[in-house]
Amino acid sequence: MRISVFLTSIFAVATLGACGATPPKTSADNSATRATSTPTRPGTGSYARYPAAEELVARLHAEHGLDPEQLRNTLSRAERQQWILELVNRPAPTPSTKPTGSWTRYSSKFLNEDRISKGVQFWGEHAEVLERASRRYGVPPEYVVAIIGVETHYGRNFGKTRVIDALATLAFDFPRRGDYFTKELGDYLVMTHNEGLDPFGPRGSYAGAMGYGQFMPSSFLTYAVDFNGDGKRNLWDPEDAIGSVANYFKGHDWRGGEAVAIPARAQGTAPQLMKADFTTRYRVEELAREGVTSTAPLDGNGQVSLLRLDGVGGFEYWLGLHNFYVITRYNHSTYYAMSVHQLAQQLRSRRGPVDRPLISWLQRLVRPTDGLG
Euclidean distance between CA atoms 54 and 57, whole angstroms? 5
Which residues does 79 contact at the CB level (< 8 Å), separation at least 6?
36, 40, 45, 46, 162, 165, 168, 169
128 annotated active-site: no
Euclidean distance between CA atoms 344 and 357, whole angstroms? 19
Which residue's CB is nearer to Ca ion, number 229 or number 371?
A: 229
Which residue's CB is nearer to Ca ion, number 39 or number 155?
A: 155
* Beta bridge pairs of residue 283: 303
Catalytic residue among 79, 142, 151, 184: 151
Q: Under a CB-based contact definition with an 8 Å cutoff, are residues 240 and 127 in contact? A: no
Min dist CB 228 to Ca ion, Å, is 4
Q: Under a CB-based contact definition with an 8 Å cutoff, are residues 317 and 292 in contact? A: yes
Binding site for Ca ion (CB under 5 A): 226, 228, 230, 232, 240
Min dist CB 232 to Ca ion, Å, is 5
Euclidean distance between CA atoms 77 and 45, whole angstroms? 4
Nearest to 219 by CA among 24, 60, 20, 64: 20
Which residue's CB is nearer to Ca ion, number 226 or number 355?
A: 226
Euclidean distance between CA atoms 320 and 147, whole angstroms? 18
Which residue's CB is nearer to Ca ion, number 158 or number 181?
A: 158
Min dist CB 216 to Ca ion, Å, is 19
Min dist CB 194 to Ca ion, Å, is 13
Active site members: 151
